[in-house]
Structure 1
């Protein structure tokens, strides 16, 4: 049985708060959660071409709604295979470039089976980019630049996150991710 859009949204937001914010995986996320400036869009397309159209429609929505800083576009019914997801990411970046969005929006990638190139599938470092569902995170480039200016040097964030995952251990990190998928925890 498919999860409803409402449940997918709750589970995703639970992941944002209990993983991304609470563990400080992204030092900029807490502010956006507190300001309620994150949009979450559940896309149910079953074809890549339609999913790409919906993703570009989300970018057009962001263009018109500047009070929203960032958008998570979640694909609960598509891209269960990580390689097909990576192909979609490449298509996304290509069309964004073609349509003049380079420098306007930045893409961050998350997937339940995320695996960095050259890293074993069960390596805990992959959890820095693992999420309950395949998703594309659209960030406003100008806002990212302002946040970096305020924060300072951000080059150490990925290494700090990997160190945190290693310190916590695979079992604990996996438990946090799986807890987000429990319907009662998404309340």
Structure 2
């Protein structure tokens, strides 16, 4: 099962995130094998927070030239997006309480991801729909450096929404099989 989860995430990274250039900063660390995919088999929030803590520590303690970012997959809980979204409050509090603020941040991806004030079937939601619930741990310093050298950071979300709107039904089924299976 773990290998299938890793394969699903790798395919999503390669075909969606990098393939559609949703994140212009993802290709280089992926190519350099500095993206870690970890899996938490937690079935309760406390265990999941402990697993997140271990990954925050690993990323913080590992040189950036060895590990740039971590994706923590959560296959055994938080299948419902509202539950996942509520849990993100605990994640933010955890990052703050343990002093990671300013060093690490956590981005969110989920198979049912839905931005506030959107309908569930709006194409823009696809930009954050992953095959499994994920917590993406990002080094703030790396993000700041990438943003500094990217000409139009503010335009990324709008460009990504347009990219999703332009996908045909067949392309969506190919790129997001977990949504149409």
Q: TM-score range by the shorter chain?
A: over 0.9
**Secondary structure at the residue paired with 1:156?**
helix
Paired residues for 1:124-143 under 5 Å: 124-143=123-142
Q: Which runs of 5+ in 2 are unaligned?
A: none
2:3 paired with 1:27: no
Paired residues for 1:77-156 under 5 Å: 77-156=76-155
The equivalent position to 1:7 in structure 2, one of 4, 8, 27, is 4
Shift of 1:108: 1.2
Question: Does the aligned pair in 2 maintain the 1:41–1:72 contact within 8 Å?
Answer: yes
**CA-atom RMSD, angstroms?**
1.7
* Higher RCO, 1 vs 2 (CA within 8 Å, ≥6 residues apart): 1
Provide the C-alpha distance between the structure 2 equivalents of 1:96 and 1:114, rounded to a whole number of angstroms: 22
Deviating 4+ runs (over 6 angstroms) = 179-182
Provide the C-alpha distance between the structure 2 equivalents of 1:124 and 1:162, rounded to a whole number of angstroms: 7
Deviation digits for residues 139-184 of structure 1 (CA, Å, limit 9, x no counterpart): 10000011111113301100100011011145522431117999xx
Q: Which runs of 5+ in 1 are unaligned?
A: 183-187
**TM-score, with length taken from structure 1:** 0.91
**TM-score, with length taken from structure 2:** 0.94
Provide the C-alpha distance between the structure 1 equivalents of 2:78 and 2:60, rounded to a whole number of angstroms: 26
